[in-house]
Chains A and B, each alone.
Chain A
Amino acid sequence: MLALIPALPLLGVAISLVLGDRLGKRGTAWLACGVIGAAFALAVRAVVQLAALPIDERAIHETLYSWMRVGDFSIDVALLLDPLSAVMVLVVTGVGFLIHVYSTGYMAHDPSFRRFFLYLNLFMFAMLTLVLADNFLVMFVGWEGVGLCSYLLIGFWYVKPSAAEAGKKAFIVNRIGDFGFILGMLTLFAFGGSLQYERLFAVAPHVFALGSATITVATLLLFLGATGKSAQLPLYTWLPDAMEGPTPVSALIHAATMVTAGVYMVARCHGLFELAPVSLEVVAIVGAATALFAATIGLAQNDIKRVLAYSTVSQLGYMFMALGVGAFSAGVFHLMTHAFFKALLFLGAGSVIHALSDEQDLRRMGGLASRLPWTHRTMLAGTIAIAGIPPLAGFFSKDEILHGAFASGHYGVWAVGLVGAMLTAFYMFRLYLLAFRGPSRLTHEAEHHLHESPPAMIIPLVVLAILSVVGGWIGPPMMEGGNAFHRWLEPVFSSGMHGIAGTAGAHPATGAMAGHAAHEVSRGTEIILMALSVGVAMIGIFMAFRLYLIKPSLATALQQRFAGIHRALLNKYWVDEVYDAIAVRPIHRASLAFWKFWDEKIVDGIVNGVGYTLEGVSAVMRLFQTGFVGTYALFFTMGVLALFLYFARH
């Protein structure tokens, strides 16, 4: 039954391929949304079944067939539904379904309507394979599959050179990460002898000493894979460029689902990361650094989608921050709430772009609140949610992360997270105010065509807005024994089950680190922390209001006062230019040299040399082919005579 969840989107792809354009636009839309809706229903059913099991047995395994058996190495195509993959599969199918519905409106006038939904369904298949896999190799199939679909969808409008370039960039940058993933996977197999999660995690504590070099290297390599897929430093550069794709793609792949694959993978391997404290530390620091770094860039971007893209990079940083400090369930919690509000924000931005006839520049928006009432309301909900104002979803998850960082003694990470939270509130409200409030700065043409989006786009926005408001309530802070979300994930993350039994006992240090540290911080401290994180968010919001609504001249003045900083932010710290100089151009030059020398001179030289030799020989040989039968007959006779003489002499 589990297999049906990823199989349904694949079925949609197959039907769409076989029937082709005979389906028509309506048929395509119904098919694509239908299979995802059905997959969502099945996922809900499976999760209900899972929840009915006793807490210690909450894992449904399903082996489809044996993929390969070579000596000791055997891999099954097998699926696993446990509380962690249950969260992922619900988020992926649920948010995915809403985005499919939204796309039917957003892409309605696109000539490649069917191709779009084909790729989208294919992506869903790969993503569901990724989260439901029961071993690393099947996960890797999904991992590469989503990478491919990401490439295809970023470059969806491939006639636009910038889109084609962005697709290539995403694919190539991800390859660097995937290389790390493969090496990490092979290291684990070489020492652990299995790629199946349960078996590998069971033997890991016995094979790898706590903090040994092997496990540190292996987990760091896996994390390199995660930095590629989840757009963390130093491999984040592809995500902002990926905004070249259609906006629903940005919402689905580059905000809600695919980019969280790295977070999911690290969370899945938490048993391994706990054996390598250094790796966890690296995860926390990279996460915190990315959260702050991307947030600062987001401050100065003028493209509405790019602001959201840097915001996504920053929020993914928060998730890794949570994983790194051992607050795994907080990281997954933020993954879920972020999927709600960031999908909402992207879809809302898409609605704005749609309404303004493809205008993406915040400087040419403004005053849209009354013109696009539903888009405005839902966007406002998403903005407050991401800013971290209670009782909306973002507050709960972000607070839990910051709390986890503080409680585990990572005060530096906590402080960075707090500053990041302020910046988040600031740049998100900057976006909101520039787009929806203030005087209208629309071009005449955009003003002329301005219209609220169709219901197919508004309804998903409303559903996501509701989720962004209430989505956090399943994980309220200060609950005895952890909140509901925490308890749900406990079978996975408490080191008591899923083959990593004994980890806590064998290594008390990691056990304490992994266990939620809520007990170490007093109630009072917790309330102060909470007040602090709300306080900085309020400061950020206040500053945004002051700079972009009450006194816009101040923003310009600040820009001129700190022109250097502003230029650095606007140009994204010139990271792309640096990468271009240290990686892209040397590789390009080396390739050019190889092409001009090795390929053209050596390889082509050999091939052409054979050709020239044959041509020279045949220029002589062809003289014998006169075309006259008599000549041939003469040669024939002479040959026979020669043979005759030869045999006569012997």
Chain B
Amino acid sequence: MIPLAWPLLLSAFLFTVGVIGVLVRRNAIVIFMSVELMLNAANLAFVAFARQMNSIDGQVFVFFVMTVAAAEVAVGLAIIVNLFRLRESVMVDEANLLKG
């Protein structure tokens, strides 16, 4: 049996990669992928704990997360497509009209 720490470490690593991706990348698609990475890191942690606790709850949660993520992708990609139509670019720092 694999110790709990391993999948958790992997999860933490993936999450950190996701966070850094969101913070440093300017391409909206890449940022979006990074967000997905963070969601999947959380999923991994859920599954790991579910296995450790011998409980199905964590796995059920993962399905919920995946469903929500799928919906979110649909909305998010629609926004990005529209942003591209408007500006011919998906660079988020070019969409800065909301500055104070």
Contacts and interface: CB of A to CB of B under 8 A. Distances in A.
Contacts of A628: 92-93, 96, 99
Contact of A622 (B23, B92, B95, B100): B100
A630 B22 CA distance: 8
Nearest to A626: B99
B26 interface: yes
A627 B97 contact: yes
B98 interface: yes
A630 B23 contact: yes
Given A634-B23, A637-B19, A637-B23, A629 B99 contact: no
A625 interface: yes
Contacts of A633: 22-23
B16 to A, nearest CB: 11
B23 A627 contact: no
Interface residues of chain A: helix, strand, loop or mixed (majority): helix
Nearest to B34: A633
A626 B99 CA distance: 5
Interface residues of A, number: 14
A624 interface: yes
A625 B99 contact: yes
A623 interface: yes
Contacts of A637: 19, 22-23
A186 B31 CA distance: 77
Interface in B65-100: 92-93, 95-100
B39 to A, nearest CB: 15
Contacts, number: 35
A363 to B, nearest CB: 74
Interface string B11-22: 000000001001
Interface residues of B, number: 14
Nearest to A621: B100
A334 B98 CA distance: 80
A626 B92 CA distance: 12
B33 to A, nearest CB: 14
Contacts of B93: 628-630
A623 B92 contact: no
A338 to B, nearest CB: 75
B67 to A, nearest CB: 23
Given A628-B92, A629-B93, A623 B23 contact: no
Nearest to A627: B99
Interface string A329-345: 00000000000000000
B23 A624 contact: no
A633 to B, nearest CB: 5
A624 B100 contact: yes
A627 B95 CA distance: 7
A630 to B, nearest CB: 6
Nearest to A623: B100
Contacts of A627: 96-100
Nearest to B25: A630
Contacts of B95: 629
A629 B19 contact: no
A618 B97 CA distance: 18
Interface in A603-630: 618, 621-630
A623 to B, nearest CB: 7
Interface in A112-170: none
Interface centre among B19, B93, B100 (most CB of A within 10 A): B100
A450 to B, nearest CB: 76
A346 B68 CA distance: 86
Contact of B26 (A618, A625, A630, A634): A630
B32 to A, nearest CB: 11
A177 B96 CA distance: 67
Contacts of A626: 96, 99-100
A625 B96 CA distance: 10
Contacts of B19: 637
Interface of A: 618, 621-630, 633-634, 637
21 contacts: A618-B100, A621-B100, A624-B100, A625-B98, A626-B96, A626-B100, A627-B97, A627-B98, A627-B99, A628-B92, A628-B93, A628-B99, A629-B92, A629-B95, A630-B23, A630-B24, A630-B26, A630-B93, A633-B22, A634-B23, A637-B23
Q: Nearest 7 pairs between A and B by C-beta?
A: A627-B99, A625-B100, A622-B100, A627-B96, A629-B92, A628-B93, A627-B98
Given A618-B100, A629-B93, 17 more contacts: A621-B100, A623-B100, A625-B98, A625-B99, A626-B96, A627-B96, A627-B99, A628-B92, A628-B99, A629-B31, A630-B23, A630-B24, A630-B92, A633-B22, A633-B23, A637-B22, A637-B23
